[in-house]
Chains A and B, each alone.
Chain A
């Protein structure tokens, strides 16, 4: 059999290679959606002229701000926010919803559908009842209650909070750490405390919204470098340092390079080694967000540093969240003792926000103990090996079937490109019909053109689960015609896969 040549490709601003015919049909589809939406808005404006907002007030939501929601999102909103009635583990009970007004509003029904879960960030399988964690969580719940109802500095610090901070520091390999009640707030309050006016934040183009908001909130100047491209980072750094601040040309006070371990919408691993080298060369500080990589990759789950053999001492601020691998909530930063001491005296989330829920703290402690083998079993190591094996198995299987799978080997996040807006709901609904719950991602989480579905692997998925997942995805992929690269797994991928095996 001959291997089909991939289509001629067109590169867009992010370096994605979109096949020409796909790009054209996608633009065309959005064009039609836009025209129809505008027509509908036109009628809407005629119809509702009676019930405008109270006189003298501007409308709460501007029409154009809402256009996307009204005319695009609402049509397919049944693919998002699907409520579930069980723990978010490998199989979930998805509550069925119906709409009586062509998808404007959805109503829950009594029915649930048991689905294979390919959406949750449950990398290590700590989302559901766990023989080691759950009893301890319940015990802490009994002892401390659900919340301490006070900020960390006032009366919100319990023994458990301090224990977790020490454990996290030890785990990530930094002298000290502090925990927050939410991952998003960790980023959005830490960055403003680290840098302000006269500073420069150089941020990866695809960084998470919490980083973007934290950077904006800091008042520092923000520059962006091409996603995961150390050479462009170097270019930006050279230009920034040699030119200094805009207009005054004063030298920058400090420069922080902000990157992520695994990019959650790309499934890509950070090229940490090269980026660290560049940043060190130009004396910039590194802020590494390990939300998706901590606990998910690396031989003992210590994240991207361990996987790529980078000494954590090279990273100035290590940030991560507990919402993913650890099946809890909250976030942490780890760094030097002084840094943490300073942050504890400056971070608004530490000083004003309700401290992290105590049972959630216990959940992270127990999960970390399992990962580190402190529970006296090898479950942690097995989980880590399992999630890696599952990820690589499914990634290869999907690639072999011709899907355009983004991301790197070993990453448990696997985006599969859909592109066409019509394929977003089609893919999601058809999978749901076949009892597979997938996540489809569209604007605003991705650029308009690059809609995708995202498969997240978990250690709790069994081989049967995976085979079923691949079977259903392949079937639906055939239907939706999203196998953009019908070809065999290329040789070097296989090679890479064996290479990695050998390394261990």
Chain B
């Protein structure tokens, strides 16, 4: 009997493993069987206990020993036999087989026939219409749009290197020598000597042991994070990080906790939470805090001193995106660590896009030799994409050289940034929402409503400013983006802008704001 029960149990477990839709039914049945056996067992025991009392109540004929086919049948023997018969009956009963519910071919045909998919893309609405300015010349401090010269305040060429003759020369030579594309991933003859030179150059510049070059800025952090963080690892990330970081966080499948945008108190609270959870059971997993030096979405600067204190106290590593701080912060442009006078070694992984201060394309990641060499086989965007066109690596080398040899570029940039900040702070109706060293100046509406409403007002401002000959840009949010920060106009300041340009921007903006707010 036990054997039978065991068999049934095995059958049930097997069904469960097969992930059968009807497992639960099999399970119920099994439980019923167990209950029946238990009840029978208990009643048997009781019968034995209270045999005499019970027997006394039964009619004589049953209780008195009967002789059937020459076998003496004792009262409780009879009951026990009955019991066994019942149990056997229950167990041997045709086990519940879920009726064969596999769909027939015709049913499948019908279902396929009936299924109507959603359209490939949602219905096009007016707000999907994007007015994109079309540049007719280089994206320098001035550019041409619709045949008209405009002041360009939307290009992240912080050091004003677009059109720099040295950069051009380097690019020209590289195009002549290497052609345009690398025609292969880094592993398969896509590595040119200039790629390696650039990697060395940027590592030397930053003071890190090694660096690695990706072929596109956007693909850098989306590859770096999953290379180091896997399921089971823990990440604390700022909730205002840019999409590329968000995508990397998602792809890593690690546990991600978000802390309030640039709020070290909240970060500390989150870290405390983690510590509390650790008290129960501390897994030895990799732990990262992920931030941006100057946030692409808000222009806030991370308080690195506080962050480093926290990271060391709670034993986290730091991944920091320096896209808006390399070539911007610090006396020599080495980024946020120089600005805070903190050793660059404290930042475990540094990433940056080359499309900003370096006026090229691509992305870099720099850090210890281990950080870099691990990515050469695990960085998905590194392994599985063609290498950066060599002339863009040459442009990067030239840019770093120019930055090293011309410290006045940085002081001009710093001067311009502070000029714009102080000028714009007096414009009525708007509020500056970023750090005063940020090269992207974020202008929010003083009376802010929702993202969409703000955007539509600010878009009017941007349009009118373009009519006035000034190109500004607006924060835009892809529907894949989880960032919840408010809408803003972005005024990007570079070292290439002259003082008159910047003064003109302020005075025009004052007029336009007055016009927009009046109506």
Contacts and interface: CB of A to CB of B under 8 A. Distances in A.
B154 A155 contact: yes
Interface stretch (A6-14, A88-96, A389-397, A465-473): A88-96
A237 to B, nearest CB: 8
Nearest to B103: A242
A141 B394 CA distance: 13
A228 to B, nearest CB: 20
Q: Which 7 A-B pairs have the closest CB atoms?
A: A354-B355, A182-B216, A323-B386, A154-B473, A345-B128, A184-B385, A353-B218
A145 B359 contact: yes
A158 B134 contact: yes
A183 B383 CA distance: 13
Contact of A84 (B171, B181, B191, B353): B191
B135 A155 contact: yes
A119 interface: yes
Interface stretch (A168-176, A268-276, A304-312, A336-344): A336-344
B203 interface: no
A59 B371 CA distance: 11
Contacts of B332: none
A129 B176 contact: yes
Contacts of A141: 168, 171-172, 175, 391
A24 interface: no
B217 A121 contact: no
Given A158-B134, A253-B117, A345-B127, 10 more contacts: A61-B374, A69-B377, A86-B177, A138-B176, A154-B490, A155-B133, A323-B386, A329-B180, A342-B124, A348-B481
A185 B218 contact: yes
B338 to A, nearest CB: 22
Contact of A147 (B162, B233, B374, B386): B162
Nearest to A130: B179
A252 interface: yes
B283 to A, nearest CB: 9
8 contacts: A58-B284, A60-B348, A60-B370, A82-B189, A88-B182, A108-B193, A146-B360, A154-B473
Contacts of B359: 145-147, 149
A182 B219 contact: yes
Contacts of A343: 121
B88 interface: no
Contacts of B455: none
Interface string A456-467: 000000000000
A262 to B, nearest CB: 15
Interface in B173-227: 175-184, 186-193, 195-196, 215-219, 222
B243 A360 contact: no
B377 A342 contact: no
Nearest to B233: A58
B117 A284 contact: yes
Contacts of A193: 478-480
Nearest to B384: A209
Interface string A125-156: 01111100110011001111111111011111
B184 A147 contact: no
B377 A144 contact: no
A411 interface: no
A316 B120 contact: yes
B470 to A, nearest CB: 12
A167 interface: no
B108 interface: yes
Interface in A72-92: 73, 80-89, 92
Interface size class of B (residues with CB under 8 A): 35 or more
A328 B181 contact: yes
B81 interface: no
Nearest to B176: A129
B92 to A, nearest CB: 34
Which of A88, A285, A444: most chain B CB closer than 10 A?
A: A88
Contacts of B296: 352
Contact of A352 (B108, B381, B478): B478
B155 interface: yes
Contact of B388 (A188, A316, A329, A352): A329
Interface stretch (A35-43, A210-218, A414-422, A474-482): A210-218
B344 interface: no
Interface in A490-504: none
A184 B193 contact: no
A349 interface: yes
B356 interface: yes
Given A138-B175, A242-B111, A83 B183 contact: no
A68 B124 CA distance: 49
Nearest to A356: B361
A210 B162 CA distance: 31
A56 interface: yes
A295 interface: no
Interface of B: 103, 107-108, 111-112, 115-122, 124, 127-130, 132-140, 143, 152, 154-157, 162-163, 167-168, 171-172, 175-184, 186-193, 195-196, 215-219, 222, 228, 230, 233, 242-244, 247, 250-251, 284-287, 296, 315, 317, 348, 353, 355-356, 359-361, 370-371, 373-374, 376-378, 380-381, 383-386, 388-389, 391-392, 395, 471, 473, 476-481, 490
A122 interface: yes
B167 A60 contact: no
A357 interface: yes
B216 A326 contact: no
B135 A83 contact: no
A251 interface: yes
Contacts of A152: 132
Nearest to B112: A241
A260 B319 CA distance: 35
Contacts of B136: 158-159
Contacts of B377: 68-69, 73, 444
A255 interface: yes
A245 B359 CA distance: 47
A329 B117 contact: no
Contacts of A345: 127-130
Contacts of A182: 215-216, 218-219, 385
A439 B184 CA distance: 10
A282 to B, nearest CB: 6
Interface in A294-326: 316-317, 321-324, 326
A143 B163 CA distance: 8
A84 B193 contact: yes
A88 B392 CA distance: 16
A429 interface: no
A194 B356 CA distance: 29
Contacts of A144: 135, 137-139
A100 interface: no
A83 B383 CA distance: 15
A359 interface: yes
Contacts of A253: 117-118
Interface string A187-200: 01100111000000
Contacts of A82: 189, 191
A348 B103 contact: no
A78 to B, nearest CB: 12
A482 to B, nearest CB: 19
B262 to A, nearest CB: 19
A357 B183 contact: no
Contacts of B385: 182-184, 210, 323
Contacts of A226: none
A158 B478 CA distance: 21
Nearest to A352: B243
Contact of A360 (B176, B356, B383, B389): B389
B218 A352 contact: yes
B490 to A, nearest CB: 8
Given A60-B286, A192-B480, A254 B386 contact: no
B392 A146 contact: yes
Contact of A209 (B118, B361, B383, B391): B383
A181 interface: yes
Contacts of A254: 117-120
